[in-house]
């Protein structure tokens, strides 16, 4: 261990890391000389006593992750295998569930190693790598999977820049190449999933419980507007739950064929649904002009988005987005407000909701709340890791 780099943590941060905070922040790296992606180091306090061992890996969130607080624990293949085995054991009930064949198997720091995730799609394992640093350990992770599970194939996606750009590859690692789309199940519904197109595979698994709730408790007999609809996953569940009509709005051209496909693999006549390729902020204006109102409006914007005319940041603009939705929601209708922004918490999100209704002279009550589902394991020392916040808001009369 003598050759390992020691990084001294500023005194005001020592307790945080001793308490198990896993992310290596900019402050920690500030006075450190050159470090390479994947390099292991010890965090130490002012007296050089050991706090934890981590690796360097620059990603959008920070500069790497603490891996262990045990000085003697080696960061080797068995280390990765132990963590992944524990993660798999925690998901036993998911592996047994025949109605749901797509879920997260390993959720980064929530399962003990930040910087990568593993998702399961009906026998296929997809690894997402979020830094070059964690990718230097890729053989350890792949060997662990080979030792621990049976699979049709392992795929991977590098979600970091190499030489300043994202390298496009099909990501096949081992097993037998899949025929895309592969069809997976979620609470009995179908999704078509592609590993070979772009970063996103066609469905965001973290919204599973929200989709089920829309289908089972809220959709029957309702008109539903799904904004930022991507492949229309919420619309599919609303239609399966008996919605009279769904309207899906997304700016991306691909959303039209993708949404048609998701309806079709569920036996839903897509021609009875509206699928609109348009800026949602433009659509809101159109809806107001035409006096359109919906029983349910779903808002699931990205944390940041820029279109030709508008730029959107969840933290700055969510309140106004809600006001647009309130204006076209029927009395006693439901607004499903969702955000995956890690830069604010549920309390602040509820503040946006409250302000939006006040400024709209409208009343409301929150009838359901969601954060990440069980397979997206999180740890209490890293609250930002539980980024998902969803509120079902009933717009009350008067
Ligand atoms: N709600 C979706 C996921 C949304 S991903 C689901 O549950 O599957 C974010 C989507 O917002 C992307 O598909 C992107 O094309 C779309 N988007 C971003 N800015 C937009 C805008 N101004 N108008 C419409 N769609 C937008």
Residues 39, 5 contacting (CB under 8 angstroms) = yes
Residue 183 has pLDDT above 50, yes or no: yes
For residue 279, give the ligand 1 atom closest to its CA: 23
Return the best residue to mutate from 301, 303, 304 for the ligand 1 pocket (most ligand atoms within 8 A of CB).
301
- For ligand 1, atom 5: residue with the closest CA: 230
CA separation for the pair 155, 193 (Å, rounded): 13
**What is the Å distance from ligand 1's center to 133 Cα?**
30
Q: If pLDDT is split at 50, 70 and 90, which confidence band does 306 have?
A: confident
Give all strands of the β-sheet with 5-8 in edge-to-edge order.
5-8, 40-44, 50-56, 64-68
**Burial profile 350-388: b = 16 or more Cβ within 10 angstroms, e = fewer:** bebbeebbeebebebeeebebebbebbbbbeebeebbbb
Residue 397 gets which letter from DSSP?
P
Return the best residue to mutate from 184, 225, 236, 251 for the ligand 1 pocket (most ligand atoms within 8 A of CB).
251
**What is the Å distance from ligand 1's center to 200 Cα?**
12
For residue 307, give the ligand 1 atom closest to its CA: 22
How confident is the model over 326-353, as a mean pLDDT? Answer: 97
**What is the Å distance from ligand 1's center to 230 Cα?**
5
Residue 344 has a CB neighbour count (10 Å cut-off) of 18
Residues 364, 395 contacting (CB under 8 angstroms) = yes
Mean pLDDT across the chain:
95
Pick the CATH number of 77-188 from 3.30.750.80, 3.30.559.10, 1.10.645.10, 3.40.50.300: 3.30.750.80
How far from 61 is each of 80, 111, 170, 203, 350, CA to CA, in Å? 22, 17, 25, 23, 24
Q: If pLDDT is split at 50, 70 and 90, which confidence band does 167 have?
A: low
How far from 97 is each of 11, 77, 186, 188, 212, CA to CA, in Å? 48, 30, 10, 10, 15
**Burial profile 127-161: b = 16 or more Cβ within 10 angstroms, e = fewer:** bbbbbbbbbbbbebbbebbeeebebebbbbbbbbe
Cβ neighbours of residue 163 closer than 8 Å, sequence gap 6 or more:
none
How far from 274 is each of 156, 157, 225, 354, CA to CA, in Å? 34, 33, 9, 31
Q: Which residues sit opposite 42 in a β-bridge?
A: 6, 53
**All structural domains of the chain with their residue ranges:** 5-68, 77-188, 204-396
Residue 254 has pLDDT above 80, yes or no: yes
- Residues above pLDDT 70, as percent of the chain: 98
Same fold, 5-68 and 77-188: no
> For the domain bounded by 5-68, which CATH number is listed?
2.30.130.10
**What is the Å distance from ligand 1's center to 3 Cα?**
48
**What is the Å distance from ligand 1's center to 249 Cα?**
8
Structure-derived torsion over alpha carbons of residues 169, 141, 28, 388, reported in degrees to the nearest 10: 70
- For ligand 1, atom 10: residue with the closest CA: 228
Residue 210 has pLDDT above 50, yes or no: yes
How confident is the model over 280-295, as a mean pLDDT? Answer: 97
Residue 117 has pLDDT above 50, yes or no: yes
- In three-state secondary structure terms, 287 is helix
**What is the Å distance from ligand 1's center to 37 Cα?**
32
Ligand 1 pocket: which residues have CB below 6 Å?
A: 204, 207, 228-231, 233-234, 249-252, 255, 279-281, 300, 302, 305, 307, 310
Structure confidence at residue 1 (pLDDT): 47
How far from 345 is each of 228, 320, 386, 389, CA to CA, in Å? 21, 18, 9, 8
For residue 204, give the ligand 1 atom closest to its CA: 8
For residue 232, give the ligand 1 atom closest to its CA: 8
Pick the CATH number of 204-396 from 3.40.50.150, 3.40.640.10, 3.30.1130.10, 3.40.50.720: 3.40.50.150
**What is the Å distance from ligand 1's center to 250 Cα?**
5
- Over residues 46-85, the pLDDT tens digits come to 999 999 999 999 998 899 999 999 999 999 999 999 999 9
Residues 392, 218 contacting (CB under 8 angstroms) = yes
């Amino acid at each position: 261990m003598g050759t390992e780099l020691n990084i001294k943590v500023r005194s005001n941060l020592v307790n945080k890391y001793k308490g198990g905070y896993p992310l290596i922040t900019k402050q920690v790296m500030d006075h450190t000389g050159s470090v390479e992606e994947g390099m292991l180091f010890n965090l130490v306090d002012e007296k050089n006593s050991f706090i934890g061992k981590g690796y360097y890996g620059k990603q959008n969130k920070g500069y790497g992750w603490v891996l262990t607080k045990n000085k003697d624990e080696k960061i080797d293949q068995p280390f990765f295998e132990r963590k992944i085995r524990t993660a798999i054991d925690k998901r036993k009930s998911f592996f047994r569930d025949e109605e749901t064949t797509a879920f997260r198997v390993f959720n980064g720091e929530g399962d003990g190693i930040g910087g990568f995730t593993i998702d399961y799609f009906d026998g296929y394992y997809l690894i997402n790598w979020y830094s070059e640093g964690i990718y230097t350990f890729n053989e350890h992770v792949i060997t662990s999977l080979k030792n621990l599970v049976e699979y049709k194939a392992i795929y991977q996606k590098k979600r970091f820049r190499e030489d300043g750009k994202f390298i496009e590859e099909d990501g096949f690692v081992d097993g037998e190449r899949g025929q895309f789309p592969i069809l997976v199940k979620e609470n009995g519904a179908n999704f078509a999933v592609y590993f070979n197109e772009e970063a996103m595979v066609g469905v965001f698994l973290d919204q599973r419980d929200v989709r089920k709730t829309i289908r089972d408790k809220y959709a029957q007999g309702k008109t539903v507007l799904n904004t930022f609809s991507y492949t229309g996953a919420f619309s599919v569940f609303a239609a399966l739950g008996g919605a009279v009509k769904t309207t899906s709005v997304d700016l991306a051209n691909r959303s039209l064929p993708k949404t048609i496909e998701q309806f079709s693999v569920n036996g839903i006549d897509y021609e009875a649904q509206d699928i609109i390729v348009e800026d949602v902020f433009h659509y809101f204006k159109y809806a107001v002009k035409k006096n359109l109102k919906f029983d349910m409006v779903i808002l699931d914007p990205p944390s940041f988005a820029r279109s030709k005319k508008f730029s959107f940041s969840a933290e700055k603009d969510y309140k106004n987005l809600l006001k647009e939705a309130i204006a076209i929601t029927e009395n006693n209708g439901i607004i499903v407000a969702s955000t995956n922004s890690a830069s604010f918490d549920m309390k602040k999100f509820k503040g946006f909701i409250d302000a939006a209704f006040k400024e709209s002279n409208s009343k409301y009550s929150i009838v359901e709340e969601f954060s990440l589902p069980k397979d997206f394991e999180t740890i209490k020392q890293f609250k930002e890791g539980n980024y998902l916040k969803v509120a079902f808001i009933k717009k009350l009369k008067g």
